[in-house]
Structure 1
Amino acid sequence: MTFGGAVLKTIAVEDTLGNVKDYLEKSGYKVVKFTGQEDADAYVISGMDDDVMGMQDIMTEVPVIEADGKTPEEILSSLREMDWL
């Protein structure tokens, strides 16, 4: 997907994180529902206590942000700090 000529990254977000989804969309990112089956450039999950995707070892190549205790702004900042954007 492009936005003003730039390619947008796709971020998969868990359903329970509606405020994060809204913030990332308003910030110009393509946001999809997190199912564990989508091909996303980054994942935002509510917590990492469980192996949410059933494939944590595969996820090392893309950012996985744990949203627990973070604001939407902090999540976006974490993605930027990882040189993801």
Structure 2
Amino acid sequence: MKKIGVEESLTNIQDALTQQGYDVVQLHSEADAQNVDCCIVTGLNSNMLGIDDTSTKASVIEASGLSADEVLHELEQKLNGAQ
């Protein structure tokens, strides 16, 4: 089962992913992102200076402006493309 880290405020996406059988963990800190297959964030903390200093090798999906279904579709594409 794929483990997906989801930013705390994205409860609708957390619920949708749980219903689809994903193991969902809330992202409270950078440490929470260490052992997940993908991170889903709001984009509010986007890197405005363009510095790529990430703490995880997992894919990141910015959910800003996307519905839960759109996020799920993008997640499935990323996970299937990684195999």
Matches within 5 A, 1:1-85: 8-35=1-28, 36-38=30-32, 39-47=35-43, 49-51=45-47, 56-58=52-54, 61-82=57-78, 83-84=81-82
Given the two structures, how large is their TM-score scaled by the length of structure 1? 0.74
Mind listing any 5+ residue stretches in structure 1 that lack a counterpart?
Answer: 1-7
RMSD: 2.3
Mind listing any 5+ residue stretches in structure 2 that lack a counterpart?
Answer: none
> Kindly tell me: are residues 66 and 34 of structure 1, through their superposed partners in 2, closer, same or farther at Cα, counting changes over 3 Å?
same
Q: Among the aligned pairs, what percent are the same residue?
A: 32
CA distance in structure 2 between the aligned counterparts of 1:77 and 1:84, rounded to whole angstroms: 14
Contact 1:63–1:84 (8 Å) recurs in 2: no
What is the aligned partner in structure 2 of residue 4 from structure 1?
none
Given the two structures, how large is their TM-score scaled by the length of structure 2? 0.75
CA distance in structure 1 between the aligned counterparts of 2:56 and 2:26, rounded to whole angstroms: 20
Aligned length: 75
Please list the CA deviations of residues 20-69 of structure 1 after superposition, one character each: whole Å capped at 9, or x if unmatched.
Answer: 00000000000001022122111000015434xxx953357321000000
CA distance in structure 2 between the aligned counterparts of 1:79 and 1:59, rounded to whole angstroms: 19
